[in-house]
Amino acid sequence: MEKDENLEEFRRWLKERNPGEEEFLQAVDDLATDVFSLYTQNQDWYDACVLLHLCEADRIISFRVCWEDDNGAVHVNRGWRVQYCGAIGPYKGGIRFHPTVNESILKFLAFEQTFKNALTGLPIGGGKGGADFDPRGRSDREIMRFCQAFMDELYRHIGENTDVPAGDINVGRREIGYLFGQYRRLANTFSGALTGKDIEFGGSHVRMEATGYGLVYFLRCMLAQRNQELGGQVVAVSGAGNVALHAAQKAVQLGAKVVSLSSSRGALYYRDGIPRELIEKALDHRAGSTELLTGMADACGGEWHKGSTPWSFPCDIALPCATQNELDGNDARALIENGVKMVAEGANMPCTAGAIEAFQKARIPHAPGKASNAGGVALSGLEMAQNASFTRWEQERLNEQLVEIMQDIHRQCIAEEQGEKDYINYHRGANLAAFRRVASAVYAQGVG
Catalytically active residues, by annotation: 128
Q: In what order do the strands lie in the sheet with 317-319?
A: 303-306, 266-269, 257-263, 234-237, 317-319, 342-344, 366-367
Which of ligand NDP, ligand 2IT, none interacts with 195 (beta carbon under 5 to 8 A by kind)?
A: ligand 2IT
Nearest CB to ligand 2IT, comparing residues 294 and 386: 386
Measured distance CA(182)–CA(184) in Å, rounded: 5
Q: Is 97 exposed, middle or buried (0-12, 13-18, 19+ CB in 10 A)?
A: buried
Residues 20-59, interacting with ligand 2IT (CB under 6 A): none
Q: Does 135 bind ligand 2IT (CB under 6 A)?
A: no
> Nearest approach, Cβ of 217 to ligand 2IT (angstroms)?
15
Which of ligand NDP, ligand 2IT, none interacts with 289 (beta carbon under 5 to 8 A by kind)?
A: ligand NDP
Beta-sheet pairing, 257-263 with 266-269:
antiparallel
Q: Does 214 bind ligand 2IT (CB under 6 A)?
A: no
Q: Does 386 bind ligand NDP (CB under 6 A)?
A: no
Q: Does 126 bind ligand 2IT (CB under 6 A)?
A: no
Nearest CB to ligand 2IT, comparing residues 154 and 256: 154
> Nearest approach, Cβ of 287 to ligand NDP (angstroms)?
10
Do the Cβ atoms of 213 and 402 come closer than 8 Å?
yes
Size of the site for ligand NDP (CB under 6 A): 27
Query: Which among 21-29, 65-73, 318-326, 374-382 is the span making contact with ligand 2IT, rule CB under 6 A?
Result: 374-382
Q: Does 340 bind ligand NDP (CB under 6 A)?
A: no
Measured distance CA(297)–CA(312) in Å, rounded: 18
> Nearest approach, Cβ of 327 to ligand NDP (angstroms)?
10
Residues 135-164, interacting with ligand NDP (CB under 6 A): none
Nearest 5°: phi and psi at 21?
-90, 70
Residues 181-200, interacting with ligand 2IT (CB under 6 A): 195
Query: Which among 86-94, 231-239, 323-331, 437-445 is the span making contact with ligand 2IT, rule CB under 6 A?
Result: 86-94
Which residues share a beta bridge with 62?
Answer: 80
Distance of alpha carbon 239 from its chain centroid, rounded? 13
Do the Cβ atoms of 197 and 383 come closer than 8 Å?
yes
Q: Does 360 bind ligand NDP (CB under 6 A)?
A: no
Site string for ligand 2IT, 301-340 (x = CB under 6 A): ----------------------------------------
> Of the candidates 272, 269, 258, which has an alpha carbon nearest to the alpha carbon of residue 230?
258
Which of ligand 2IT, ligand NDP, none interacts with 129 (beta carbon under 5 to 8 A by kind)?
A: none
> Of the candidates 276, 281, 290, 433, which has an alpha carbon nearest to the alpha carbon of residue 367?
433
Q: Is 392 exposed, middle or buried (0-12, 13-18, 19+ CB in 10 A)?
A: middle
Nearest CB to ligand 2IT, comparing residues 159 and 329: 159
Beta-sheet pairing, 74-85 with 126-131:
antiparallel
H or E stretch at 259? strand 257-263
> Nearest approach, Cβ of 225 to ligand NDP (angstroms)?
22
- Residue ranges binding ligand 2IT (CB under 6 A): 92-94, 113, 166, 168, 195, 348, 376-377, 380
